[in-house]
């Protein structure tokens, strides 16, 4: 059944769900919904290849709400969910549970979200009431099991959402522990953006005769997004970003930095320039992250500066601008990042600020997305005359896969955008060290590690080391020839 033929009416969902869908303004199912909803309604297991942004959450939430309503149980017990949705990050957990509430608003079912990094007591209290659907990250869930505040023996439906991310983050042992606590007879739905051998192994052990759904990866839908590159030396990036935001009157910009420290520094600089901004990353408390995200979503905070991990799964409707303050060194992360804009059919703009040292990253990204990203000059930008001098510091010892800190021969923006590859770059390795998890899954001590999922393994750095490497890079940089006309092919 192709998506063009499928309507929500044809999916036979209960009327209260149809009303909620109409309230949400959805006119037709997305491809993953058109394919997954009938399979889930039929009661079978499901293996689905779909990323955030495809409408996958409604793809499993709608039929689950339908099934739980169609088969009410006579003796609901507190702290004993009928459906468990496991997700890798706190933000995704919050968003999925919000979707459950949105789509289930005309139903009597109750849901709850559970993640670490926040006080466990309100969760314990909530578990004393009715709860049909539980959305949880694995670590905090096991804490509750340990405290006997949660009973998983009534789970009829299990969802593993973003299963590949959960494995990347080292959650496999926790997942296995959780699976062992569930009733054997149940429906299993596994959603993953990628299908590594490890995911296939997990699926083989978990799913019984699953239905199979795969929708286009974002890599093939980036056409919706207007992408551009501004060539700019690292030390001018924050100035250029302030200029772009003010000059173009951008109202909602999600900015990606590579490190938490970088996110903080950029946020401070933007605020100093009179642009309200907040950083969101693993060192921020959960309340601070939630507040920043809420302000960004409701339009009161125009700029959110995020690291890849913190931004994972963020769903912000029709985000108009995404800025890569630094390019990610894993090309797939670029696709994830720019997928924050152009969601569910709307168009958006993704702007990358690229230092000459990042040209190999740019080339890797262009190879992945099979297109060249136009380089655009910013004629209106006048670099500040007196940049503060960088404190001379000794160059940092090269860290294998980190950037090359050797002397450079040309300033950024001189048109030499494609340098020869540097050793070890562009390789993807999965972190297997539990310390590299975004969420330390035990004891509620969940801290994000932003160097992580899917990134080449690197030694942990202190903020000082981070700063030093930046200084060392700048030190070796000649005064930039900004936006050389030769280099700046005008794309749009």
Tell me which residues touch ligand AMP (CB under 6 A): 26, 29-30, 33, 52-58, 315, 317, 343-344
If the CB atoms of residues 111 and 149 are measured against ligand AMP, the closer one turns out to be 111
If the CB atoms of residues 340 and 455 are measured against ligand AMP, the closer one turns out to be 340
If the CB atoms of residues 22 and 73 are measured against ligand AMP, the closer one turns out to be 22
CB of 57 to ligand AMP, least distance (A): 3
CB of 297 to ligand AMP, least distance (A): 11
CB of 84 to ligand AMP, least distance (A): 18
* Dist CA 335 CA 371 (whole Å): 12
- Phi, psi torsion values for 422, nearest 5 degrees: -100, 155
Return contacts of 284-288, CB within 8 angstroms, 24+ apart. Answer: 284/310, 285/117, 286/90, 286/115, 286/117, 286/118, 287/118
- By the 8 A CB rule, do 140 and 446 touch? yes
Give the single-character DSSP code of 415: S
CB of 344 to ligand AMP, least distance (A): 4
* Dist CA 449 CA 281 (whole Å): 9
- Phi, psi torsion values for 382, nearest 5 degrees: -110, 115
Q: What is the token pair recorded at 388?
A: 């503060």
Give the single-character DSSP code of 215: -
Q: What is the token pair recorded at 60?
A: 């499993």
CB of 116 to ligand AMP, least distance (A): 22
DSSP string, 101-139: HHHTTTS---EEEE-SSS-SHHHHHHTTS--SEEEE-HH
CB of 65 to ligand AMP, least distance (A): 14
Q: What is the token pair recorded at 381?
A: 């930008």
* Dist CA 217 CA 379 (whole Å): 35
CB of 332 to ligand AMP, least distance (A): 17
Sheet arrangement for strand 277-280 = 225-231, 348-354, 321-324, 253-256, 303-306, 277-280
- By the 8 A CB rule, do 337 and 219 touch? no
CB of 69 to ligand AMP, least distance (A): 20
Helix axes 331-338, 359-369, angle to 10 degrees: 70
If the CB atoms of residues 8 and 171 are measured against ligand AMP, the closer one turns out to be 8
Helix axes 90-103, 15-24, angle to 10 degrees: 120
Closest-approach residue to ligand AMP (CB): 57
If the CB atoms of residues 56 and 265 are measured against ligand AMP, the closer one turns out to be 56
If the CB atoms of residues 92 and 112 are measured against ligand AMP, the closer one turns out to be 92
If the CB atoms of residues 52 and 192 are measured against ligand AMP, the closer one turns out to be 52
If the CB atoms of residues 26 and 106 are measured against ligand AMP, the closer one turns out to be 26
If the CB atoms of residues 50 and 477 are measured against ligand AMP, the closer one turns out to be 50
* Dist CA 415 CA 104 (whole Å): 54
Alpha-helix runs per DSSP H in 299-358: 308-311, 331-338
If the CB atoms of residues 30 and 469 are measured against ligand AMP, the closer one turns out to be 30
């Amino acid at each position: 059944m192709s998506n063009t033929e499928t309507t929500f009416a044809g999916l036979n969902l209960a009327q209260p769900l149809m009303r909620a869908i109409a309230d949400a303004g959805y006119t037709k199912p997305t491809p993953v919904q058109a394919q997954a909803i009938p399979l889930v309604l039929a009661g079978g297991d499901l293996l689905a290849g779909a990323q955030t942004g495809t409408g996958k959450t409604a793809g499993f939430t709608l039929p689950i709400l339908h099934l739980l309503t169609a088969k009410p149980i006579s003796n609901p017990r507190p702290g004993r969910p009928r459906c468990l949705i496991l997700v890798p990050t706190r933000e995704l957990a919050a968003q999925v549970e919000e979707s459950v509430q949105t789509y289930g608003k005309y139903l009597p079912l109750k849901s709850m979200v559970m993640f670490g990094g926040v006080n466990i007591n309100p969760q314990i209290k909530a578990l004393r009431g009715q709860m049909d659907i539980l959305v949880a990250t694995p670590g905090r869930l096991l804490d509750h099991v340990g405290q006997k505040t949660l009973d998983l023996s009534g789970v009829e439906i299990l969802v593993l959402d973003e299963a590949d991310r959960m494995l990347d983050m080292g959650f496999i042992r926790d997942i296995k522990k959780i699976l062992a606590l569930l009733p054997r007879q149940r429906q299993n739905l596994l959603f993953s953006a990628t299908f590594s051998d490890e995911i296939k192994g997990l699926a083989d052990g978990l799913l019984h005769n699953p239905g199979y759904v795969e929708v286009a990866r974002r890599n093939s839908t980036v056409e919706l997004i207007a992408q551009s590159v501004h060539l700019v030396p690292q030390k001018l990036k924050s100035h250029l970003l302030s200029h772009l935001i003010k000059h173009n009157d951008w109202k909602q910009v999600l900015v990606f930095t590579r490190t938490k420290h970088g996110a903080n520094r950029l946020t401070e600089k933007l605020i100093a320039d009179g642009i309200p901004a907040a950083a969101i990353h693993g060192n921020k408390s959960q309340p601070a992250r939630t507040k920043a995200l809420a302000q960004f979503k409701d339009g009161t905070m125009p700029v959110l500066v995020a690291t890849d991990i913190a931004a994972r799964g963020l769903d912000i409707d029709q985000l108009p601008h995404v800025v890569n303050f630094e390019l990610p060194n894993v090309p797939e992360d670029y696709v994830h990042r720019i997928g924050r804009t152009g969601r569910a059919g709307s168009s958006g703009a993704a702007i990358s600020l690229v230092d000459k040292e990042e040209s190999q990253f740019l080339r890797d990204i262009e190879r992945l997305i099979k297109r060249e990203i136009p380089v655009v000059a910013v004629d209106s930008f006048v670099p500040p005359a007196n940049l503060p001098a960088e404190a001379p510091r000794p160059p940092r010892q090269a860290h294998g896969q980190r950037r090359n800190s050797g002397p450079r021969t040309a300033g950024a923006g001189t048109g030499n955008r494609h340098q020869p590859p540097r050793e070890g770059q562009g390789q993807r390795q999965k972190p297997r060290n539990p310390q590299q998890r975004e969420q330390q899954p035990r004891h509620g001590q969940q801290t994000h590690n932003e160097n992580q999922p899917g990134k080449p393994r690197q030694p942990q750095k202190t903020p000082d080391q981070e700063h030093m490497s930046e200084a060392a890079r700048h030190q070796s940089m000649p005064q930039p020839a900004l936006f050389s006309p030769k280099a700046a092919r005008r794309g749009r």
